[in-house]
Structure formats: structure tokens, C-alpha cells
A and B are shown apart, each in its own frame.
Chain A
Amino acid sequence: MFAYIVRRLLFAVPILIGVNFITFALFFMVNTPDDMARAQLGAKQTTPEMIQSWKTEYGYDKPLFFNGQASGLDKVQETLFVQESLKLFMFDFGQSDSGRQITADIQERMWPSLAIALPTFIIGLVTNIALALLIVLFRGSVLDTVTMMVAVAIMSVSGLFYIIAGQVLFSKVWHWVPISGYSEGWDGVKFLILPVLIGVFAGIGAGMRWYRSIFLEEMNKDYIRTARAKGLSDIKVLFGHVLHNGMLPILTGVVVVIPTLFMGSLIMESFFGIPGLGSYTIDAINAQDFGIVKAMVFLGSVLYIIGLILTDISYTLFDPRVKLS
């Protein structure tokens, strides 16, 4: 098991290098060291000498990918790409344009993001699976057809609509919850109810359909017929067999998402004024703060890769047929 995990982690390294390469190429195309120097020194009066000295001071005077002047391994190592990548691998994201430490910001803002994303995820998962099981119980009936039509309709509405409509109804008209904001601890619950509810509701359409199709596929298998033939009730078949065997495809879709919950949701957080990583990213995008966007891209990729590894591990726990190889 341990050796397997280590091997999977090693596989992740080239992918992360690839991610770094893409972000590096994207951002250095527009935000060259010269631009960074000009931004840091103040736009007005910068001489080429000042830029040069700033670059030397902060180590940005190296070539991009290949250093012809160095010798041996340094030809590759003494370059901006390697230097920047190494910093990212150490989770040292540097400073944002406003002069704050990005790493510290991220650590601080991770928790509000999680406070929304985790309840949304768990409640959504449970609701979707429960509803899907219920629908499978009534498969082929009018209820099934109508519910599926409603599900398509829910899916077809833009997520922005749910947020805006939810804020207007629950906060402006009925005054049940505050319209936006955030606070730590139990006081914060009242701010979280609405975004979590909206997040769950917006996901019901697609989620219910997805789980229903998984369960229906399971229902058509031979062992279900056997189980029914030996006289098991619908409920027992559903919970004992269908749910159990449906876990595998569910795991594929679900486990990958768990680590990325830290990243938060871009629109949810900015609509509800939650100081998480999602609104952090959106602010950075609007302010064209490349440092933060770069950091978030890297972090997102790391979390996604962790999710992939977790998926594989969870397979081995749930499916005895899968061997670690």
C-alpha cells in the first residue's frame, strides 16, 4: 500500500511540472520580469538601469528556459522556469500586488471556503443519492417521468439565477437570513444557510439524474433478479445490493472532488461576500493580479491530483477485485 502511494505521488510530479510549464508560459508572456519591475518600482519614472537592478535583486535576470552561460546541470537549473517552479513546489507563492504574502492569505481564507463547500457537498451528496434511490423505487411510473422532467428543468436554469432569486426571496422579501457576510464560529451559521441551500438545490437536477442512471444500470443486472427471485423486498434490494454495488461508480465521481473543496466556489463566495479562496481568486482576476491567479492554478492542480490518488486508494478499499499494481 505504502509503496503504491509513493509511486502514485511520483507519477504526479511530471504532471505538476507540466502544469507549471503551462502557467509559466501563459503568465510570462504578458507579465514579463520587466513588467513586474515596473509595477513594483512605480510606473512613472523607471530607467532601464533601475529595472535591471530590481531584476538582479529579486533574481529575475535569468533566461527563461535555457541558460547558455552556465555549465553542466546549471544550464537548466539557473533559469527562471526552474526557479519559479521550485518556489511553487515549496508552496512559496510570493507576494501579491498589494504586498501581502499569498501563502498566508491562502491559509487564512481556506477555512471560510471550506465552511460553505463542505456542507454543500455532504448535504448535496446525501440528498441526491436519497432522491435517486426513491425515484428508482418508483421507476417507470408517472412520478419517475415527472421528476426527471423537473430535474432537466432544474439543470437548465443558470446557477446565477438560483443565487439571485434566493437572495431576493429569502433575504430581501422574507428577511429570514442576512443577504451576505461572514463571521467565525457559530454566529456564522446564519450566513451559511442560504449559500449551502442554493448550492444543494442547484446541484439536485444533474446529481439526481446521474445517480439514478447508475442505480438503474445496477438494477438491470442478473444478481438483482436473483435477489428478487429469492423473495427480497424492493427496499432490501435497493439498500442491500443496488446502493452497495453502485458505490464504485459513485466513488469515481465523488472522491476526486473532495480535495478541491478547499478551493471554494467562485460565484457563490463573491455573491455572498464570503472571504474564501473563491472570492480571493475573483478579486485577483478583476485586479489582474497574476501572482494570486498563478498560485491558485497551481494549488487547484495539486488538489485535483491528490483527488485522483485518493480515488484510486478508495477503489482498493471498496472493490476487492481491484489490486494495487
Chain B
Amino acid sequence: MSFVWLWTDIMVWALILVLIGGIRSIRKSEQSRKQWFSILKSPVAMSAAIILSFYLLFALLDSVHLQFSHNETTAENANHAQDNNQGVVSVLDLLLQHLRDQTERTYSAPFATHEYSTSLSYDEAGQVSQIYQPLKFGGQHLDADTTVINDVLVKSVIPFLFSFFVIAVIFNVHLLFGFLKNRDYINYYESQPDPDQQLPWGAAYITLFILIFLFSWFFYLSQFYHVLGTDKVGQDVLFQSVKSIRTGVLIGLLTTLVMLPLALILGISAGYFKGWVDDVIQYLYTTLNSIPGVLLIAAAVLVMQVIISNHSDWFGSTEERADLRLLFLIFILGLTSWTGLCRLLRAETLKISQIEYVTAAKSFGLGPIKIIKNHIMPNLMHLVLIALVLDFSGLVLAEAVLSYVGVGVDPTTASWGNMINQARLEMAREPMVWWSLFSAFAFMFTLVLAANLFSDRVQVVLDPRRSN
């Protein structure tokens, strides 16, 4: 067993390092600490932040890849070595191993015990009949006289109790930390340092409880059923939806990582140096901006596809190829989306560099790099933050559209766009196969809604124009 680091894995962990650095610097500065408190003071933003971190957790679990050496594979899991002969698996795959293994023959509805359509079968007497074949895994533990509903209800008790227990543990740890920090054991409830800094823990715990309950419910019941059904080739839809989290979150996060340096460097230098630098940079972004976004992305992805198919010897495995395609897509999205933020930063820098303290700094003989770093950058950070959280939801939604157009991630990569694309035609069936689409949209909706609500709050707090 050895770790395998795909390119996007490395980028995502680099981003986490950047995030940790960001949180540290927020903790250091009094002002930004207050700002973040006031962002999280809204119960909606708090809940949204928790949902977002939950998604991020899944994306991270799915971003640690392991390679089992051939011997181990054959010895330990010989039975599924055939169906999953790609040796690279992520930690999330290992966690959801049962979902990966329990593949059916074809479609089955959520909680179904039998296949979705009839097929020919021979009974002992050699008679041919059209029957609904029982599933291989879904609901096969049931006796003849227990119904699915009863069974599900009974089985829901365990996850409920479990999530209650987890929440209780977290709550106690939280309290303990509070005690240790304050050292004021007796008057803890009366002696809060600043009533202003009271966060909406009630909303946070409710959200956390719901999330943990949903997760454990899905996890526990998926041992017995296909909770969200199976798709055309019998793969579990829940597994696909969960696997798609990584793609969605990565596209939303890493694109900003690509776009940010470009926007910052070009935007600030255009606004600060003015003159020909400004002209060149303005020309650059007007030109890029005038090409319709989807078409530019489509053109770049087409080019990339041709390059990849012409040089198939560059890639060791299908995973590497799919991963490189995702990386390319992220880069392309980043290269096409920096213009908006760049324009904002340029305008703001122009404004700031007129203010007296910048003139004062100049007359003290400070170099441009120092002025930009100490006097201009700190005053631009709210714009950057707002742009980042605003872009995130748009990018997650864009992934689905791009995959539909055929210029999205690799068809073998799990993504909501691919799920929608594959399930789209099944709506024409009678009766409809709705669960694949439903799951993809539901997972995407939760993420985007949380991101939108969070970004609204960030905007209200950080944007001086909206705060009054």
C-alpha cells in the first residue's frame, strides 16, 4: 500500500494550507477577527458554513489516494479485484467499499427490492416468464412478512441514536474547551467576555445534528438497500453522488486558486502604475472578456481533448488522464474568469492610490512593492473575499452545464454534470427513472444554496456599500 498523489490532490492540499494560513492571520488581526465573528453571528451563515465544511470534508477524504500493490489486492479483496481493477482508490472509496461492491444488473428504484423492469426468466419447469427479478443486494435481508417501510423505520433508530451520541460528545468537548479557556468554572455562564461575540451555537448544533443524522442514516441503510437507487449499469447512485462532491468542490475552490494571482497582480499593477501598464492590462482583459465565456472554454477544452488523444502515451492510467483533464478544466476556467475581479481591483486600487496616506508613504520613499503590500492590499481584501465566495456557486453550477455541452470533466470522472447528462434521456422512459437526476440536483442544490447564503452574509458584512 502506498500513497498516490494526483495533481488535483496536491493542489487541494496546497489550498488547505493556504486556508489555514488565512485563518491564522485572521486570528491575529483584531479587526478581521471581529468581521468573521459578525459573519458567523448570523444563524443562516453559521449553518451554511457548517454545510460547506461538511462538503469540504468529503472532498478532502476523496483527495487522499492509495495504491494497493498487486499482491495485496489479490490476497485481501480478491472478489472485487476484477470489477475494480484500477488499483488507485481514495480513502472515501474505502469508507464506502460496500457501495462500490454492491452493484446490481441494471436500474432499481430507491429502496427497491426488485429490479425496475421485467426480464425474461426460466423457472424450474423450463417455463419462460416476464418477472421483476429480485435485486442481488438491495433489501435481500427482509423476511417475507416485513415491509420495506417498517424495516426502514426500525433501522432508522440506530443512526438517530448514534448521531445524538456524537452531538453529545461534540457538545461536551466544546464545553470543556470553553471552560479550559476561561478558567472561570463557577461563573462560566455569567462571565462571557463579550456578548457581541456570542455565536449562534443553537443553529450550529441543529445543522450539525441534521448532517450527522443524514450521513449515518444513509451510511447505515446503504448496507441493506440502495437508498437512492441504482443507475443503468447497476451502480449505486448514492455512491456516485458522494463521489461527485470532490469534483464540484474542487472546481469551485481550485479555480479561484488559479484565478486569484492573475487578478491580483494584473489588477493592482494596472491601478497603481497607470500609464502603458494600465493600457496593456485593460486591453488584455477587454479582449478576453469579449469572447463569450462558454465558447472560449469550449474552444480551449476542444484543443485539450485533441492534445490528450494525440498523446495518450503521456498518461499512465485512466485516473491520471481523467485527473489531468480536471486540472486542465480548472486552469481553463481560472484563465477565463479572472477578468471580472481584475477590473474591480484595478478600479479600487486607482481610488486608494489617490488617498493621502499612499501619497505620504510615497513621499517617505517607500518602494511600490512595500506600498502595495502594506497600504493597498489590505484594503482590497474584502473585494477578493467577496469575489471568491460569489464565484464558488457559479462554478459549481457551470460544471454541470459544461459537462452537458460536452466540454466538462472526463466522462469517467464522477460529477453531477456527468450524472445529469447520463440520466437525462431516462426521463423519457415510462415510468420515469428520476432518482439519478434527483440525487445529482439535490446534492448540487444543497452545496450551491449553502454557498449562496454564506456569500450573501460575507457581502453584507465586508462590503462597506451594503453594510449601512
Contacts from A to B (Cβ < 8 Å) = 14-15, 18-19, 22-23, 26-27, 29-31, 152-153, 155-161, 164, 167-168, 172, 213, 217, 260, 263, 266-267, 281-282, 285-286, 288, 290, 293-294, 296-297, 300-301, 304-305, 308
Contacts and interface: CB of A to CB of B under 8 A. Distances in A.
B149 interface: no
B66 to A, nearest CB: 32
B23 interface: no
Interface string B290-334: 111011101110110111001000000000000000000000000
B346 to A, nearest CB: 17
B290 A304 contact: yes
A157 B401 CA distance: 12
A20 to B, nearest CB: 10
A29 B406 CA distance: 20
B357 to A, nearest CB: 28
A30 B305 CA distance: 9
Contacts of B445: 156-158, 161
B290 A285 contact: no
Given A15-B283, A267-B405, A285-B406, A293 B298 contact: yes
A156 B441 CA distance: 10
Contact of A27 (B299, B405, B407): B299
Given A19-B290, A282-B405, A30 B303 contact: yes
B406 A19 contact: no
B343 to A, nearest CB: 13
Given A15-B290, A159-B397, A282-B405, A29 B295 contact: no
**Chain A interface helix/strand/loop/mixed:** helix
A18 B287 contact: yes
A165 to B, nearest CB: 9
A158 B397 CA distance: 6
Contacts of A297: 291-292, 295-296, 299
B290 A164 contact: no
B404 A152 contact: no
29 contacts: A15-B290, A22-B288, A26-B300, A27-B303, A30-B302, A30-B307, A30-B310, A152-B449, A155-B452, A156-B393, A158-B416, A159-B401, A160-B400, A161-B437, A164-B437, A172-B428, A260-B292, A266-B401, A282-B405, A282-B406, A285-B406, A285-B407, A297-B291, A297-B299, A300-B291, A300-B295, A304-B290, A304-B291, A304-B292
A113 to B, nearest CB: 13
B420 A285 contact: no
Nearest to B441: A161
What size tier do the contact residues of chain B reach?
35 or more
Nearest to B459: A213
Which of B290, B407, B420, B441 gathers the greatest number of chain A CB atoms within 10 Å?
B290
Contacts of B448: 156-158
B453 A152 contact: yes
Contacts of A26: 299-300, 303
B10 interface: no
B424 interface: yes
Contacts of B432: 168
B444 A288 contact: no
B401 to A, nearest CB: 6
A19 B287 contact: yes
A29 B294 CA distance: 20
B286 interface: yes
Contacts of B292: 260, 263, 296-297, 300-301, 304
Given A29-B307, A158-B445, A160-B400, 4 more contacts: A31-B306, A157-B445, A157-B448, A285-B302
Contacts of B466: 213
Contact of A168 (B299, B427, B449): B427
B348 interface: no
B278 interface: no
A267 to B, nearest CB: 6
B456 interface: yes
Interface in B398-431: 400-401, 404-407, 416, 420, 424, 427-428
A19 B287 CA distance: 6
Contact of A301 (B291, B298, B465): B291
A33 to B, nearest CB: 15
Contacts of A293: 295, 298-299, 302
Contacts of A158: 397, 400-401, 416, 420, 441, 444-445, 448
Contacts of B407: 285
B455 to A, nearest CB: 10
B434 to A, nearest CB: 8
Nearest to B301: A285
B299 A305 contact: no
A15 B290 CA distance: 8
A139 B371 CA distance: 42
A15 B393 CA distance: 30
B296 A156 contact: no
A266 B405 contact: yes
- Which 4 A/B pairs are nearest by Cβ-Cβ distance? A18-B287, A300-B292, A156-B449, A30-B306
A134 B285 CA distance: 37
Contacts of A281: 295, 298
A29 B299 CA distance: 12
